[in-house]
């Protein structure tokens, strides 16, 4: 197995799946930002670590913006960008203390829009992929994230990570972790650099309701990070 594929597999085993889809950005996010869909937007159904995806972020004294960032947080103090492959996710329980994430958590938080995400259920010696998305298709799916600026003198890169939390009852049969999903009423507080840490702690402690998500089994086609297209997220025909 190539090294990249091995790293992604290990990330799935340790935290949550390292794959999600973004085939549209909800109107509610675009309204928050005050502009339309970027001309360069392309729908994706199999976004993997080390690839770019769209996130909403807000720098101090500026309005929120939508930018494409590298998935895998690279702290500003890192010497090599390869460290990002070990930081595709940040645990909600320790994000405020870990040196890898602490400063970004305090000052550089972002919203990671998605259409759905994948997780793998253990089945004997193998694993079965499932796709998770909002049960109500009108509901936006947004993950809590952190972002960073990294510059080693030769290259400048903005990167992000997705915060995960303990699985709710709906998720537990598949995995013990899940992305921290933010409802719209928390978006502005999460983005604003000046939000008090006490307020952030309250947001971290609010897992999504059990009835928010739906899921279905998908084809193992999605296992290959080079595969793309809507077939990745289509339900398996079990009959």
The reply to whether 17 belongs to the active site is yes
Predicted pLDDT of residue 11: 41
- State which CATH number among 3.90.1680.10, 3.90.79.10, 3.30.450.90, 2.170.130.10 fits the domain covering 3-233: 3.90.1680.10
Tokens at residue 49, please? Answer: 């670590």
Tokens at residue 12, please? Answer: 């799935």
Predicted pLDDT of residue 2: 38
- Residue 65, strand partner residues: 57
Predicted pLDDT of residue 17: 54
Predicted pLDDT of residue 162: 98
Predicted pLDDT of residue 78: 92
**pTM above the 0.95 mark?**
no
Catalytic-labelled residue, pool 11, 110, 119, 232: 119
Closest Cα to residue 218, out of 105, 79, 117, 73? 117
Predicted pLDDT of residue 7: 39
Domain ranges in the chain are: 3-233
Predicted pLDDT of residue 152: 85
Distance CA 151, CA 165 (A): 30
Distance CA 193, CA 195 (A): 6
Q: How far is CA 45 from CA 120, 122, 140, 203, 222, in A?
A: 16, 22, 16, 28, 9
Tokens at residue 83, please? Answer: 């460290």
Predicted pLDDT of residue 9: 39
Distance CA 81, CA 83 (A): 5
The reply to whether 119 belongs to the active site is yes
Task: Tell me the pLDDT of the chain (239 aa) as tens digits.
Answer: 333 343 343 444 344 658 999 999 999 999 988 888 999 999 999 999 999 999 999 998 889 999 999 999 999 999 888 898 999 999 999 999 999 999 999 999 999 999 999 999 998 889 999 999 999 989 999 999 999 999 988 889 999 999 999 999 999 999 999 999 999 999 999 999 999 999 999 999 987 999 999 999 999 999 999 999 999 999 997 65
Catalytic-labelled residue, pool 11, 17, 110, 232: 17
């Amino acid at each position: 197995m190539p090294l990249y594929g091995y790293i992604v597999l290990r990330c799935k085993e340790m935290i949550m799946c390292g794959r999600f889809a973004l085939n549209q950005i909800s109107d509610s996010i675009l309204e928050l930002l005050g502009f339309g869909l970027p001309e360069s937007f392309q729908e994706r159904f199999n976004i993997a670590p080390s690839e770019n995806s769209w996130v909403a972020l807000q720098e101090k004294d500026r309005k929120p913006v939508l930018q494409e960032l590298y998935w895998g947080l690279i702290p500003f103090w890192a010497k090599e960008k390869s460290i990002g492959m070990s930081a595709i996710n940040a645990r909600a329980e320790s994000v405020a203390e870990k040196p890898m994430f602490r400063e970004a958590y305090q000052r550089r938080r972002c919203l990671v829009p998605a259409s759905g995400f994948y997780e793998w259920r253990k089945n004997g010696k193998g694993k079965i992929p499932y796709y998770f998305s909002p049960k109500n298709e009108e509901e936006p799916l947004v993950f809590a994230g952190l972002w960073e600026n990294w510059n080693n003198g030769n290259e400048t890169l903005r990167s992000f990570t997705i915060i995960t939390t303990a699985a709710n009852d709906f998720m537990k049969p598949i995995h013990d972790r899940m992305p921290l999903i933010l409802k719209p009423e928390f978006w502005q507080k999460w983005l604003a650099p000046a939000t008090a840490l006490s307020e952030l702690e309250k947001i971290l402690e609010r897992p999504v309701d059990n009835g928010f998500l739906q899921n279905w089994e998908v084809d193992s086609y999605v296992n290959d990070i080079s595969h793309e297209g809507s077939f990745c997220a289509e339900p398996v025909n079990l009959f």
